[in-house]
Chain A
Amino acid sequence: DAMVIQNPRYQVTQFGKPVTLSCSQTLNHNVMYWYQQKSSQAPKLLFHYYDKDFNNEADTPDNFQSRRPNTSFCFLDIRSPGLGDAAMYLCATSRDRGARSTPLHFGNGTRLTVT
């Protein structure tokens, strides 16, 4: 019944070694989001795609990039992970953008560890 699927669930990478996290959805939603969530903190929006239109948050580091090759898939690339990038990364989708009363559907996240 999973509708937003994130792989892998756990990812370990070395300091400075590029890593890619993936997200797929079966909801055919227009919008896909990437959030970073650190322990006991609220999720922080990194960027989102409205269809093919990429929207970066002003305070998202350049180290974080994203790709959306088609409606179903979205990738988060961390070019040179630092120790401070260790976190849970959540992918979410919605039919419309945030102001509308459409819920966000979250995946179960990828927990990234940087060694």
Chain B
Amino acid sequence: KNQVEQSPQSLIILEGKNCTLQCNYTVSPFSNLRWYKQDTGRGPVSLTIMTFSENTKSNGRYTATLDADTKQSSLHITASQLSDSASYICVVSVNYGGSQGNLIFGKGTKLSVKP
């Protein structure tokens, strides 16, 4: 069964600290992995997309890694800011061939950054 598991479920850190969020997946055939940031009461916003051949991708203070062999991804946030408080959702795309596809969403990690 195609699944995406994220950990931890929630996390509290102090402003300025770094943190790492985890995503494990059992999705086949794999197409790509995406990280989204969802502020409370808002729609998700894309942070990164990585394909099978990409190990790391950065977007400002956000760095995502992908290990396609172990089917694990992480999102590292450097020098956290209060505005980083949000849910972070890992989404894995299943490749059914052609233009068909399916997105498997994780439940997200809720990050709270405290002053």
The interface stretch among A14-22, A70-78, A79-87, A105-113 is: A105-113
Are B34 and A103 touching (Cβ within 8 A)?
A: yes
Are A99 and B44 touching (Cβ within 8 A)?
A: no
SS class, residues of chain B in contact with chain A? strand
Are A41 and B43 touching (Cβ within 8 A)?
A: no
Chain B residues positioned under 8 Å from A100 (CB to CB): 31, 99, 101
The interface stretch among B13-21, B61-69, B71-79, B103-111 is: B103-111
Query: What separation, in Å, do the CA atoms of A101 and B41 have in the docked complex?
Result: 26
* Contact A97 to B41, CB < 8 A, known contacts A42-B107, A42-B108: no
* Contact A42 to B44, CB < 8 A, known contacts A96-B99, A97-B100: no
Are A42 and B89 touching (Cβ within 8 A)?
A: yes
Select which of B44, B102, B107 is within 8 A of A41 by beta carbon: B107
Chain B residues positioned under 8 Å from A101 (CB to CB): 31-32, 49, 51
Q: How far is the CB of A96 from chain B (nearest CB, A)?
A: 6
Select which of A40, A90, A99 is within 8 A of B107 by beta carbon: A40
